[in-house]
């Protein structure tokens, strides 16, 4: 999937449509939500000597997350845009 370098989209800071510059973010894998409720519970249960609970292993995912950073040309505000995993490859056209 090809993405144009300049995208005109809504900027929440300017409150109107502005031209945005697309920039690819090389960040893959799972969402890092270290303070999520499930993570806190797991840490509490696995801490200490007793109550040993098996560590959950992360399933190996076939594709990486598709994330594109859009930078507003007017105010410089950055917005993250996620594309579905079904898109195998993302390229930014120059």
Chosen residue from 77, 78, 79, 90 binding Zn ion by CB under 5 A: 77
3-state DSSP of 18-66:
EEEEEEECCCCCCCCCCCCHHHHHHHHHHCCCCCCCCCCCCCCCCCCCE
* # residues near Zn ion by CB under 5 A: 8
Show contacts with Zn ion in window 23-62 (CB under 5 A).
none
73, two tokens: 């040309």
Say whether residue 11 binds Zn ion (CB under 5 A): yes
Largest CA distance in the chain: 57
Interface with Zn ion (CB under 5 A), residue from 6, 8, 13, 27: 13
Residues that bind Zn ion (CB under 5 A): 11, 13-14, 18, 72, 74-75, 77
């Amino acid at each position: 999937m090809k993405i144009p370098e300049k995208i005109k989209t809504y900027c929440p800071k300017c409150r109107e449509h502005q031209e945005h510059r697309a920039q690819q973010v090389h960040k893959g894998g799972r969402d890092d939500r270290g303070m999520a409720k499930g993570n806190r519970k797991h840490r509490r249960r696995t801490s200490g000597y007793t109550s040993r609970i098996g560590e959950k292993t992360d399933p190996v995912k076939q594709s990486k997350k598709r994330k594109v950073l859009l930078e507003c040309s007017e105010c410089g505000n950055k917005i993250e845009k996620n594309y579905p995993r079904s898109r195998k490859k993302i390229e930014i056209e120059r």
